[in-house]
Amino acid sequence: MNRWAVVGSAWLIATAALVTWLRTTPSSLLREQLAVLQFWSLEVCVFLGLALAVAVAADLRRAIQWRDGVGMALVAALALGLTLYVAPRTNRIYYDEQIYQNIGQNLADSKRAQMCNDGTVRDGRLDCRRGEYNKQPYAYPHVLSLLYRAFGVRTGTAFVFNAIAMALTACAVYLIVLLLFSDRVAACFASLLFALIPEQLIWSASAASEPSASLASAAAVLAAACFVRWRTSVSLAGTAVATAYAVQFRPESFLIVPVILLLLWQRAREEFMRPRLWWAGLLFLALVAVDAGHMVAVSGERWGTADDRFSLRYVIGNLRVNGWFYLKDARFPPVVTLLAIVGFARWRGAAGRLTIAAYFLVFFGITLIFYAGSYDYGADVRYSLATYPPLLIAAGLGVAHIAESIRRLQPRFPALPILAAAAVLSFAWLYAPVVGTVADSAWAARADEAFARSLAPGLRDNAYVLTHNPGMFQLWGVSAGQMSLAVTNPAYIDELTARFSGGVYLHWNFWCSVQDQVQRDVCTKALALRPAERVREYQEREQRYILYRLDRSLPKH
């Protein structure tokens, strides 16, 4: 049997097995299987990725000069410093950031992909009695679980990781430009300008998933750039693994796949006629099989809307906002967009511009057909982060072209230092104040989280909290569960009282005062189940946050 017959048979068997599994497994059983399989699938992906990265690093070191290392170190230090000391460290998307961290805690302590609706924390470990499979992909919580296993469960871990992801993405942008276009000036300015993008800094100082998703996509493109540069089987396998991990960060992250394929088609077209590329594709399929199951399992989720989640009727409204975002919005430097246009229009070097343009367009375009894709919709400007690496790559090429034009006209004019200084000073003058402020839009949820965090030290001594957001209490070392558990089964409070000598508490939180009557009813019904003693109370503006102790022995009011 020839090589093509073998690889074709392998593809046929693997595809048939995957389709059979997904079509014959009931949704409830599929979610239960995925809760177990996600952990091990992602573990294998990381293990293979690290091993292959070490192998490819030798080739990468030979391509990098000492000045490249210095340049990347300086830009990474700038990116890290601005993220840590200019952008305020705070949550910006409630309560998704807490959910991601709680899932990471579950992956670390129980090896299950779930958020915990009823969990006991003992000696720093979470024992989850009732878990729920979440609709979001699991790569970001898995990264957090790796850090939790190494350094312990801490709420600051996600913030530190996103700050590091900011610096690493700047380095990835540098290396992509260097490997694809062999232009150090373009590489330096692409990474420098990336480190100065206001929204990138703002979200890198949060615990959201978008900064790491952007890093993962850029890392996949970098892996592909390594392959088209050296054409080794190890770098090809690394591309498959990096891409497989990248698609599991966000629902839209799968769009990096056509970008990688386009780059391979532009720079290594003959590889499509060789079996090794198809073996690498089979490796990719094996590593994303569980994620494919995830997409099938959550395909019925409404994502917060009763209308169509994706539709062409959203394009005009979203384009009106998102298009102008890059041209005349205070949140994004329009000069970067102009430089990117110059880069796309003027670069005549090695093939790769089309890939970079496609990289930007797929992540820009997906938001246009999404019902919540407008950058002005809530906190959804975070979706723009995926477009920054390709845009800044093009902008770096634009700066390199302008610098070369200046050099031809005025050979002695110090264009590069002046352009770099102008970029930094413009950021300090125009955008540092924007980066350094916290939007008022999430004040009620932010106040709720701050109040709840202040309660944690007094509740760790064998107490239990009923709340809408038990995951954040569990992160702080406090046993907690969903308030609705007591509403549907009032006797459960007696069980909790017997198990937790420190008392059973009810957290009157953000959701108890929202417009949604269902959520408000859960709070009032839970509070009416037992006599309640008001332990602590905090008010901000018109919002009240209260901690009650529930106890049958208390006098009724």
pLDDT single digits (tens) 232-250: 999 999 999 999 999 999 9
- 343 with 462, same domain: the answer is no
% of the chain at pLDDT higher than 90: 86
With bands split at pLDDT 50, 70 and 90, how would you rate the model's confidence at 552? low
What is the model's pLDDT at position 301? 81
Please indicate, yes or no, if residue 20 is contained in any of the structural domains: yes
Please indicate, yes or no, if residue 475 is contained in any of the structural domains: yes
SS (H, E, C) 425-486: HHHHHHHHHHHCCCCCCCHHHHHHHHHHHHHHHHHCCCCEEEECCHHHHHHCCCEEEEHHHH
Q: What is the mean pLDDT of residues 479-485?
A: 96
What is the model's pLDDT at position 554? 53
Residue 351 has pLDDT above 80, yes or no: no
Q: Which domain holds residue 451?
A: 443-550
The string of DSSP letters for 225-241 reads: HHHHHH--HHHHHHHHH
Please indicate, yes or no, if residue 129 is contained in any of the structural domains: no
C-alpha closest to that of 101 among 61, 51, 67, 142: 142
Please indicate, yes or no, if residue 106 is contained in any of the structural domains: no
- 269 with 164, same domain: the answer is yes
The residues with which 305 forms a beta bridge, in sequence order, are none
Task: Check: CB of residue 455 under 8 Å from CB of residue 104.
Answer: no
Contacts of 540-543 with C-beta under 8 Å, sequence gap 24+, read 540/443, 540/444, 540/447, 541/443, 541/444, 543/444, 543/447, 543/448, 543/510, 543/513
- The rounded distance, in Å, linking the Cα atoms of 288 and 290 is 5
Please indicate, yes or no, if residue 126 is contained in any of the structural domains: no
- 411 with 453, same domain: the answer is no
Q: For residue 492, what are the CA distances in angstroms to 482, 486, 489, 497?
A: 12, 6, 6, 9
Instruction: Flag whether the pTM goes above 0.85.
Output: yes
Non-local CB neighbours of 101 within 8 Å, separated by 6+ positions:
141, 144, 155, 157, 158, 207, 471, 472, 475
Residue 272 has pLDDT above 50, yes or no: yes
Question: Token pair 């957290």 is at which residue?
Answer: 507
Neighbouring CB atoms inside 10 A of 151's CB total: 11
- 178 with 59, same domain: the answer is yes
Q: What is the mean pLDDT of residues 507-534?
A: 94
What is the model's pLDDT at position 322? 97
Task: Check: CB of residue 103 under 8 Å from CB of residue 134.
Answer: yes
- 376 with 478, same domain: the answer is no
What is the model's pLDDT at position 497? 93
- 381 with 507, same domain: the answer is no
Q: What is the mean pLDDT of residues 293-302?
A: 90
What is the model's pLDDT at position 439? 81
With bands split at pLDDT 50, 70 and 90, how would you rate the model's confidence at 553? low
What is the model's pLDDT at position 363? 98
- 256 with 209, same domain: the answer is yes
pLDDT tens for each residue of 91-136: 999 999 999 999 999 999 999 999 999 999 999 999 999 999 999 9
Please indicate, yes or no, if residue 234 is contained in any of the structural domains: yes
Q: What is the mean pLDDT of residues 445-453?
A: 95
Please indicate, yes or no, if residue 402 is contained in any of the structural domains: yes
With bands split at pLDDT 50, 70 and 90, how would you rate the model's confidence at 335? very high
- The rounded distance, in Å, linking the Cα atoms of 396 and 189 is 5
Q: For residue 149, what are the CA distances in angstroms to 126, 144, 461, 483?
A: 13, 9, 23, 29
With bands split at pLDDT 50, 70 and 90, how would you rate the model's confidence at 499? very high
- 175 with 199, same domain: the answer is yes
Last residue of a domain, one of 408, 435, 462: 435
Q: What is the mean pLDDT of residues 433-459?
A: 92
- 286 with 225, same domain: the answer is yes
Torsion sign, CA atoms 235, 240, 245, 249: positive
Structure tokens at 113: 């992909």
pLDDT averaged over the chain?
94
Last residue of a domain, one of 435, 464, 488: 435
Residue 297 has pLDDT above 50, yes or no: yes
Residue 216 has pLDDT above 80, yes or no: yes
> Which of 73-82, 165-174, 198-207, 293-302 shows the lowest per-residue confidence on average (mean pLDDT)?
293-302
- 276 with 205, same domain: the answer is yes
Q: Please, what is the end-to-end C-alpha distance for the chain in angstroms?
A: 83
The residues with which 126 forms a beta bridge, in sequence order, are 121
- 163 with 300, same domain: the answer is yes
Task: Check: CB of residue 135 under 8 Å from CB of residue 301.
Answer: yes
Reduced to 3 states (helix: H, G, I; strand: E, B; else coil), residue 351 is coil
With bands split at pLDDT 50, 70 and 90, how would you rate the model's confidence at 306? confident
Residue 483 has pLDDT above 60, yes or no: yes
Last residue of a domain, one of 376, 403, 435: 435
User: Which secondary structure element, helix H or strand E, spans residue 131, and what is its range?
Assistant: strand 125-132
CB-count exposure of residue 462 (10 Å: 0-12, 13-18, 19+):
middle
Residue 303 has pLDDT above 80, yes or no: no
With bands split at pLDDT 50, 70 and 90, how would you rate the model's confidence at 442? confident
Please indicate, yes or no, if residue 139 is contained in any of the structural domains: no
Residue 440 has pLDDT above 70, yes or no: yes
Task: Specify the number of domains making up the chain.
Answer: 2
Reduced to 3 states (helix: H, G, I; strand: E, B; else coil), residue 77 is helix
What is the model's pLDDT at position 304? 74
Q: What is the mean pLDDT of residues 363-383?
A: 95
Taking each helix axis from N to C end, the angle separating 275-297 and 233-246, rounded to the nearest 10 degrees, works out to 10
Query: What is the signed CA dihedral for 254, 259, 261, 262, rounded to 10 degrees?
Result: 160
Q: What is the mean pLDDT of residues 363-389?
A: 96
- 448 with 425, same domain: the answer is no
Of 382 and 349, more confident:
382
Residue 251 has pLDDT above 50, yes or no: yes
C-alpha closest to that of 458 among 508, 499, 505: 505
With bands split at pLDDT 50, 70 and 90, how would you rate the model's confidence at 557? very low
